[in-house]
Structure 1
């Protein structure tokens, strides 16, 4: 395997190096820079003028991609293109060619190719990363089963997951309904019943004892899946999320959770009208359009009603495994109170551990972007004694 851009779990944190940009644009820039390397922050910061709109960021990232490709930095180029694609509208004709280039490149770079897993009429793309760094005859320390959230491709995580495999853990990573190629190529929208794709993957690979890891919105989906899937012996919500509607409303119009839920229950015409007012902010309009595309909703009101189903309160008590809940002190997506709410609700879990990351650690943001290595080391340290417990 070509090991350039191999992720070093012990590298110094990239940190939350500030950009003079809106919070979400700055966060996304840090997200892509964590893949590319610290020089990406310098390249992005040098943009003049720094973009202020989604369309401006699309053009800026494509400009950086062209420069990287001219310089022979093909890895950087496809990541910059993926960054541009992230902010494109769903009907932008550039989206799919960029996806194809990115996915093909990552598969070849890391020598990982998908296995098709049938699930409810769809075919999930799952990747099997074998454990490495083991002695002769030594079994993998554990098997991780990993999935993303609302808008990532699982191939984005190859550098990080490959680093976990190099530590002696087998990693099965997949996109489910509403994610990656399952959405983009098959048109299969997100489902709330996440135990279905998880069970399909566990069945396909004949797994009986796994560490189940959900990223971003996956922090909600992982709890839902673990409530129904007893083979999830260890459960990691990276980050915690117990109520997606609460998360969504914080972006649209910050209100208490009960108010957001009441609004989502109003007649659709009224909800659409209220959201039309909120969506005068371009980032809100983009988010609603993205949400409708991912969930195959016909209106913003329908999307909000679906978002209301993505919560864990009704199923948390059914989780029986050991649970690790991660959170960022300054997560601008997930309100921090969701951490304690989720921890208190896991009344049937074998154990519940919480970890809040702060500014000094360089990863107080969503999903510990800025110091992903610390997040992985935290999971490994939490998991290790559980693997040897009677």
Structure 2
């Protein structure tokens, strides 16, 4: 090993590098996944068998060690899956992972930014030589790598963070222009400011067609969820993708934090969709992924214009999902939250002391929820509970759930059981090769099954 970089030397076997006891199967791309990864780092066990270069700890195909950090590996798998839609290349992702030092946020950001800029230069050269398609496809990957850089980085004092955010948007738009992809930029009016988004008009749509509104969760951006909006585009559905408060550009460019009354974020987007020619106002569909699987049902409970809600995965109580993780790590600590918040803060900081993933989690969620202390963030999280409002949901709900869900395990079934109206639970299994959070690594199958169901039910 090269002790200065934490990497395996090129002339030595990579097995040791890939076998660090720091990974977790699954793709928890928000704080539930971070907590699950944190737990795996503390409780990991030796590998059951050795494979040259790779050592899975559980025997599962998805439990691979690339960076040496469990959460980073989960997030890497998310971007590897984008190769299906041309928004990443496997070699580019793995080469980037090789340069990441486990647990170091800056290393993650630097590695992905370097890849984004290199791929961007390739696209510039192709465009200068008149190769519009090559340039457009290459810009699409560069834009995704800029987004990847922002996923695991919380240093708001670094001017490169905002620059990467803006380059992700402009490069995405350049790609769409060169490829003739009809993604029209939108600024959706929202409480004295606006939410960034894109309207994607399907050339295969009828004169009046459904529109799929799409938002992500804590980390991912809607632009990188191409398997959803491109699947809609090809099937004659319009799509409107947007950044809600606490997400992507709304967070980094506008300073907007998450809010529990998510309908206040979604209703302006519904308003905007209704004003667009060709959109059938009676067939407005809403999809939320990751943490969005808790947010979207909340919006559907209050805005009756939503004709169908898709939660991937479904979440009845985000608060319950988060507290169940912490009760495993520090039993009884939540009893201090309201009675002795200062003691609670000390306990959480002790948990995170010397533990990079936990430190990252605290910085990340405090920033995105507008909190200053651990106690404040948990008080805010307690408001993200759909239990009191789930009975208000009257539209059909499609819930997508993997059997290896690690961020909010059991919540899809709880949401399904609590719903009183039309509902369907779509399960993805190990046999499907799609058991992970948001079907990471199996997005082609996820698109096929989801849109086949929508075609039959909308």
TMscore range, shorter length:
0.7 to 0.9
Work out which of the residue numbers 309, 326, 331 in structure 1 matches 2:400. 326
Structure 2, gaps ≥5 residues long: 1-60, 124-137, 178-182, 275-280
Match of 1:115 in 2: 186
In 1, Cα distance between equivalents of 2:90 and 2:327: 30
1:95 pairs with 2:157:
no
Secondary structure of 2:159's aligned partner: coil
Is the CA contact 1:211–1:233 (under 8 Å) kept in the aligned structure 2? Answer: yes
CA contact (8 A) 1:245 1:261 kept: no
Measured after TM superposition, the shift of residue 124 of structure 1 is 1.4
Say whether the 8 Å CA contact 1:140–1:169 is kept in structure 2. no
| Shift in Å, 1:78 | 3.5
Counterparts in 2 of 1:183-194, with a 5 A limit? 183-194=251-262
Partner of 1:106: 172
Equivalent residue number for residue 419 of structure 2 = 346
Does 1:220 pair with 2:294?
Answer: yes
Partner of 1:51: 101
1-structure distance, mates of 2:232, 2:298 = 24
Aligned residue in 2 for 1:269? 342
1:60 aligned onto 2:126? no
Alpha carbons of 1:59 and 1:173: their partners in 2 closer, same or farther (altered >3 Å)?
A: closer
Query: 2:111 & 2:143 partners in 1: Cα distance?
Result: 14
Q: 1:171 to 1:308 in 2, by over 3 A?
A: same
Determine the C-alpha separation between the residues in 2 that align with 1:261 and 1:346: 29
Pair 1:262–1:243, CA change in 2 (3 A): farther
Deviations 1:71-130 (A, max 9, x none): 544433333333222222232322111111111111222242322222222311232111
2:300 is equivalent to residue 229 of structure 1: no
What is the distance in 1 between the residues matched to 2:113 and 2:417? 45
CA 1:263/1:326 → structure 2, altered by over 3 Å: closer, same or farther?
farther
Q: In 2 relative to 1, CA 121–177 (structure 1 residues): closer, same or farther, beyond 3 Å?
A: same
SS in 1 for 2:64: coil
For residues 299 and 185 of structure 2, the distance between their equivalents in structure 1, rounded to whole angstroms, comes to 22
How far apart, in 2, do the equivalents of 1:290 and 1:180 lie?
Answer: 12
Displacement after TM superposition at 1:17 (Å): 7.4
CA–CA distance in 2 between the matches of 1:49 and 1:225?
41
Q: Offset of 1:299 from its aligned partner?
A: 1.2
Tell me if the contact between 1:34 and 1:370 (Cα under 8 Å) persists in the aligned partners: yes
SS at match of 1:330: coil
1:15-54 to structure 2, matched below 5 A, reads 16=62, 18-20=64-66, 21-36=68-83, 40-45=89-94, 48=98, 51-54=101-104
Provide the secondary structure at the position in 1 that maps to 2:311: strand
CA distance in 2, matches of 1:318, 1:342: 13
CA distance in 1, matches of 2:312, 2:333: 24
Deviation, 1:250, is 5.4
Q: Secondary structure at the match of 1:254?
A: helix
CA distance in 1, matches of 2:317, 2:447: 24
Question: Is 1:155 aligned to 2:223, yes or no?
Answer: yes
Query: Which residue pairs with 2:57 in the alignment?
Result: none
Q: Give structure 1 stretches of 5+ with no counterpart.
A: 1-14
Contact 2:285 2:309 survives alignment (8 Å): yes
User: Could you tell me how far apart the structure 2 residues matched to 1:152 and 1:279 are?
Assistant: 24
Q: Is the 8 A contact 1:140 1:168 kept in 2?
A: no
SS in 2 for 1:193: coil
Residue 160 and residue 54 in structure 1: after superposition, are their counterparts in 2 closer, same or farther (change >3 A)?
A: farther
Question: Cα–Cα, structure 1 residues 48 and 382, in superposed 2: closer, same or farther, change >3 Å?
Answer: closer
In terms of Rg, which structure is larger? 2
Alpha-carbon separation, structure 2, partners of 1:270 and 1:260: 9
Structure 2 length as normaliser, TM-score? 0.73
Number of aligned residue pairs: 366
Query: Match for residue 132 of structure 1?
Result: 203
Normalised by the length of structure 1, the TM-score is 0.85
1:250 to 1:384, Cα distance in 2 relative to 1, 3 A: same
- Give deviations 1:279-319, integer Å, cap 9, x for gaps: 12211111111111111112121111111111111111110
Contact preservation (8 Å) 1:143, 1:209:
yes
Pick from 133, 141, 154 the counterpart of residue 76 of structure 1.
141
| RMSD value, Cα | 2.6
CA-to-aligned-CA distance 1:339-374 (integer Å, 9 cap, x gap):
221111112x2x111122122322211111111222
Which is worse superposed, 88-97 or 225-234? 88-97
